[in-house]
Structure formats: structure tokens, C-alpha cells
């Protein structure tokens, strides 16, 4: 069912803070049109990089006449080529994300909206996709601050539905988006199929991958007691349990092992892993945590 949430995704004060940030990538990406990102490839933009000797047939407009006046030799000015940054967000909208207050899905929407805003004000290409059983709704590529309304219009009505299948979604995503770029996967990763195959599809595309692992506080620190009947939100599997201190300890040990395993798997493969809960200050995550880890600067 749709999220009954009157709180706006982003408030004006936070948007102002976001304007000071810029999405960055650890790799060089190729775009279809020139933006504000510079690469180490030599091109014809305005940022000076180096000189080389003039050769017959070179564009005379690029001769450095100041150097010629001093050395009586012809040198060509070389420039850094500006390139687009393609920024993708892959947001989990499966039923397990519809948990907590605010829900994990609402928290994920805020992260997606904030990063999209930063990309748009810096003239990057921004693309949003959602997934549950497979790749679901997607927002076509947009660029420029004036398109932020499209991002909000796309994100706000999203609701949780279906069982998560990162493998199928990532495979479809890799086929849909053939180019390189940044991709941020926002999910609780509570997928019985696991995360390995799905993330490998993204790695095969040589994308700069960030994982934002979102759990709610009740999942991290459960306050359950007594005899309970638990029903899986996605596949309706039922488990009848008696909650005790040893059981809670075993649960926390397993959860910590799961979180640590995902983090370790990502780190070994160059994927940036970020853990957060729905109760962690949202502006801290965006303005500090992601900046420290190199996604924004």
C-alpha cells in the first residue's frame, strides 16, 4: 500500500546545504555530451593541462603564442576534456522496505532524492530505477536543476510491493544501462537469494558502485519478548518462536555476521559500503558520511 507520509523528502534548508556538494567518481567516465566533469583524457575544453610540440596539421588556434615569444618555438596547449557523469540510483521497493518509522523505503527515497539533487545542480545525468521482484519503475535520464521536480514526482508516490530479487534486477539494470557511471544501490539486502550475483552483474559493467545498507532500528535492536508468530513480509513464511535472551543474542550475532559479510565482500571488490538505520540523522549521512567516503565532496 502507498506510504502515508506527509513529510517532504527534502526541506529548503537541506537543499541549500546540498548545493555545496558535488558528486565525484573515482574513475573516468565517458558521456554523450560535455558537462562539468573533467577527465584525464586530453580534449578541447577550457581547462589547461600541458604542452606538446607543434606538428604540421595541428590547429593553429591552440598554439601558445606566449611560449613562442619566449622560446621562439611552437608549442600546442593541451586541455582536459570535460565529460558527463552518469549517476544511477537503484532503490529497493520490496515489501521488506515497508517497515519502521520512518520506513526504510522513505529513508531510501530521501537518500535518492538528495543525491539526485546534487547531481542535477552540477549538470550530471541522473537516472532513477526501482526494483523488487525485478527491475521495476524507472525515471528517464534528466539533467539540470530545473528537473528536480521530476525526481520528486517520481519518488514520492513509490510504495513497497513484491519480494526482493536483486539478482534479477541487477541483471536487467546492466542490460538497460550499458555505459559506465556511478550506481548507488539502496536496500536492506534482506533477499533470500543473497546479494553476490546481483552485485557481480554491476561489477561486470565496471561501474563505480556504492551500497547504502538500510535497516530499521527495530531490526538492529529488537525489543521482542514472549511467544511470537512471525510472518515474512515478502513470501509469508511463518515462524513460531519463544523469545529469550540467548535467542536474541544469537539473532544479533547472526545479524552482525551478515552486515560484516556484506561489508567485507564489497570492500574486497572496490565497492563502497555504507551502513545506516532509519533513525540515523539523514543530513549527517548525506553531508558527512557520504562525503567522507568519496561519493560527494
The mean per-residue pLDDT over the stretch 212-222 comes to 92
- pLDDT band at residue 83 using 50, 70 and 90 as cut-offs: low
Superfamily of domain 12-30+85-216+274-292: von Willebrand factor, type A domain (3.40.50.410)
| Contact between 25 and 120 (Cβ < 8 Å) | no
Closest CA to 295 of 54, 108, 26, 41: 26
* pLDDT for the residue numbered 124: 86
- Specify the pTM: 0.78
SS3 of residue 142 by DSSP: strand
Closest CA to 118 of 25, 196, 239, 245: 25
Q: C-alpha distances in angstroms, 109 versus 3, 61, 115, 178?
A: 11, 48, 10, 24
* pLDDT for the residue numbered 91: 98
Residue 93 has pLDDT above 90, yes or no: yes
* pLDDT for the residue numbered 76: 64
- pLDDT band at residue 204 using 50, 70 and 90 as cut-offs: very high
The mean per-residue pLDDT over the stretch 206-228 comes to 85
* pLDDT for the residue numbered 3: 45
Based on DSSP, count helices (H) and strands (E) in the chain, helices before strands: 10, 11
The mean per-residue pLDDT over the stretch 53-68 comes to 68
For residue range 227-238, list pLDDT tens digits in order.
556 655 656 566
Closest CA to 131 of 186, 170, 167, 92: 92
Residue 11 has pLDDT above 70, yes or no: yes
CB atoms within 10 A of CB 243: 16
- pLDDT band at residue 271 using 50, 70 and 90 as cut-offs: very high
Q: Which three three-digit cell numbers place residue 190? A: 534482506
SS3 of residue 276 by DSSP: strand
φ, ψ for residue 167 (rounded to 5)?
A: -60, -50
| Contact between 10 and 17 (Cβ < 8 Å) | no
Angle at 86 between CA 82 and CA 90, to 5 degrees: 165
Residue 23 has pLDDT above 90, yes or no: no
For residue range 120-151, list pLDDT tens digits in order.
887 889 999 999 999 998 998 998 888 999 99
Across the chain, mean pLDDT equals 80
Closest CA to 103 of 252, 266, 216, 262: 216
Q: Where are the beta strands (DSSP E) in 54-198?
A: 75-83, 86-92, 125-131, 135-142, 182-187
The mean per-residue pLDDT over the stretch 261-281 comes to 95
What are the extents of the domains in the chain?
Answer: 12-30+85-216+274-292, 37-83
Bridging pattern class, strands 125-131 and 135-142: antiparallel
CB atoms within 10 A of CB 283: 15
Higher pLDDT, 49 or 21: 21
Q: C-alpha distances in angstroms, 18 versus 145, 193, 283?
A: 12, 36, 9
Those residues whose C-beta lies under 8 Å from the C-beta of residue 77, and which sit 6 or more positions away, are 48, 51, 62, 63, 64
| Contact between 43 and 80 (Cβ < 8 Å) | yes
- pLDDT band at residue 32 using 50, 70 and 90 as cut-offs: very low
Those residues whose C-beta lies under 8 Å from the C-beta of residue 3, and which sit 6 or more positions away, are 98, 103, 105, 106, 158, 159, 160
* pLDDT for the residue numbered 104: 96
* pLDDT for the residue numbered 86: 87
The mean per-residue pLDDT over the stretch 193-199 comes to 95
For residue range 156-195, list pLDDT tens digits in order.
999 999 998 999 999 999 999 877 789 999 999 999 899 9
* pLDDT for the residue numbered 247: 79
| Contact between 84 and 29 (Cβ < 8 Å) | yes
The mean per-residue pLDDT over the stretch 100-115 comes to 94
Amino acid at each position: 500500500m502507498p506510504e502515508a507520509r506527509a513529510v517532504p523528502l527534502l526541506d529548503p534548508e537541506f537543499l541549500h546545504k546540498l548545493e555545496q556538494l558535488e558528486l565525484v567518481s573515482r574513475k573516468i567516465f565517458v558521456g554523450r555530451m560535455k558537462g562539468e566533469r573533467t577527465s584525464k583524457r586530453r580534449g578541447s575544453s577550457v581547462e589547461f593541462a600541458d604542452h606538446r610540440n607543434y606538428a604540421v596539421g595541428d590547429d593553429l588556434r591552440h598554439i601558445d603564442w606566449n611560449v613562442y615569444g619566449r622560446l621562439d618555438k611552437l608549442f600546442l596547449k593541451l586541455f582536459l576534456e570535460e565529460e558527463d557523469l552518469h549517476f544511477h540510483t537503484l532503490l529497493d521497493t520490496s515489501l521488506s522496505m515497508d517497515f519502521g518509522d520512518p520506513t526504510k523505503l522513505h529513508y531510501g527515497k530521501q537518500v535518492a532524492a538528495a543525491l539526485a539533487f546534487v547531481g542535477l545542480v552540477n549538470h550530471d545525468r541522473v537516472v532513477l530505477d526501482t526494483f523488487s521482484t525485478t527491475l521495476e519503475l524507472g525515471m528517464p535520464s534528466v539533467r539540470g536543476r530545473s528537473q528536480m521536480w521530476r525526481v520528486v514526482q517520481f519518488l514520492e508516490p513509490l510504495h513497497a510491493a513484491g519480494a526482493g530479487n536483486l539478482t534479477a534486477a541487477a541483471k536487467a539494470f546492466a542490460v538497460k544501462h550499458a555505459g559506465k557511471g556511478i550506481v548507488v544501490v539502496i536496500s536492506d539486502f534482506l533477499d533470500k537469494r543473497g546479494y553476490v550475483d546481483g552485485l557481480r552483474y554491476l561489477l561486470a559493467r565496471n561501474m563505480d558502485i556504492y551500497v547504502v545498507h538500510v535497516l530499521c532500528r527495530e531490526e538492529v535492536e529488537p525489543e521482542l519478548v514472549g511467544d511470537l508468530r512471525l510472518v515474512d513480509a515478502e513470501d509469508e513464511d511463518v515462524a513460531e518462536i519463544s523469545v529469550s535472551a540467548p535467542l536474541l543474542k544469537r539473532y544479533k550475532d547472526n545479524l552482525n555476521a551478515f552486515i560484516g559479510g556484506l561489508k567485507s565482500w564489497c570492500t574486497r571488490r572496490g565497492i563502497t559500503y555504507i551502513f545506516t538505520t532509519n533513525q540515523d540523522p539523514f543530513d549527517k549521512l548525506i553531508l558527512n558520511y557520504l562525503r567522507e567516503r568519496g561519493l560527494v565532496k
